[in-house]
């Protein structure tokens, strides 16, 4: 199904997703108020997009599964396809690749509006060392430039290995949360929560509580 047609289908679904997101954020606020900050990571690097020129238009990969998408305003929206992030300002008539340069695999995307958005990505170290490193990229200009925060280092304990992200959400342009998944038993998945904060010109990721959940057999 073409992306323009999918926009109409997803717009209706966004209303029900908004209600669930509100409930989810309420739980996060409670957790934040009772959980001590364990570790933090600050400082960021800046990168551009993969497009070779500003405003370069392209077509979406075809065939390719649409992983996620959202309409932000009339005719303006984004699509995550084949781990790349594409942007349209004419209801899917043309697309610009706004993937942060150097990001191998995008796993989650969240935009507040036409300018402010975030994406979690992973990179593989080398062909021999297949361990993945993760980062959080933020844009304030609709994907033309990105600020990068590492999700590794002090945020991850020596016995932990990140396996992906299960949730990414922001309540405003300065405050948001990520829930990272850890490699663990299938029946007892583990993870931890990160709080992202952009205040006073500083960018920080703070680790909150660790989480586990036993699945029914």
Beta strands in 99-217 (DSSP E): 105-111, 117-124, 132-139, 145-150, 162-170, 175-182, 190-199, 202-212
**C-alpha R_g of the chain:** 18
* pLDDT score for 156: 84
The whole-number pLDDT of residue 160 equals 83
| Predicted pLDDT of residue 6 | 53
The pLDDT of residue 155: 85
What pLDDT, on the 0 to 100 scale, is given for residue 69? 94
Pairing mode of beta strands 202-212, 190-199: antiparallel
Of 149, 151, 178, the closest CA to residue 162 belongs to 151
Report the pLDDT value the prediction gives residue 15, as an integer from 0 to 100.
44
How much is the pLDDT for 121?
Answer: 94
- CA 163-69-101 angle, to 5 degrees, is 60
- Residue 7 is predicted with a pLDDT of 53
Each residue's pLDDT expressed in tens, for the chain with a length of 217 residues:
555 555 555 454 454 444 444 444 343 333 333 333 333 444 556 666 665 444 456 677 766 788 999 999 999 999 999 999 999 999 999 999 999 999 999 989 999 999 999 999 999 876 565 678 889 999 999 999 999 998 877 788 888 888 888 789 999 999 999 998 888 776 667 888 899 999 877 888 998 877 665 444 4
Helices (H), the chain: 3-34
The domain locations on the chain are 3-164
Q: What is the pLDDT of residue 2?
A: 56
**Residue 52, φ and ψ in degrees, nearest 5:** -80, -15
């Amino acid at each position: 199904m073409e992306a323009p047609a999918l926009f109409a289908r997803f717009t209706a679904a966004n209303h029900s997703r908004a209600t669930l997101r509100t409930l989810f954020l309420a739980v996060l606020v409670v957790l934040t108020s009772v959980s001590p900050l364990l570790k933090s990571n600050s400082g960021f690097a800046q990168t551009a997009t993969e497009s070779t020129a500003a405003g370069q238009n392209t077509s979406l990969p075809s065939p390719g599964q649409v992983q996620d998408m959202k309409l932000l305003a009339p005719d303006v929206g984004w699509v995550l396809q084949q781990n790349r992030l594409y942007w349209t300002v004419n209801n899917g008539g043309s697309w610009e690749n706004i993937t942060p340069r150097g990001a191998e695999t995008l796993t989650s995307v969240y935009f507040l509006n036409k300018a402010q958005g975030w994406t979690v990505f992973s990179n593989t170290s080398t062909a021999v060392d297949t361990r993945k490193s993760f980062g959080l990229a933020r844009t304030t200009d609709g994907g033309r430039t990105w600020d990068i925060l590492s999700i590794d280092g002090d945020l991850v304990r020596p016995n932990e290995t990140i396996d992906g992200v299960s949730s990414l959400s922001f309540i405003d342009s300065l405050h948001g949360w990520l829930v990272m998944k850890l490699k663990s038993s299938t029946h007892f998945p583990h993870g931890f929560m990160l709080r992202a904060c952009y205040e006073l010109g500083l960018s920080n990721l703070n680790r909150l509580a660790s989480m586990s959940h036993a699945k029914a057999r």
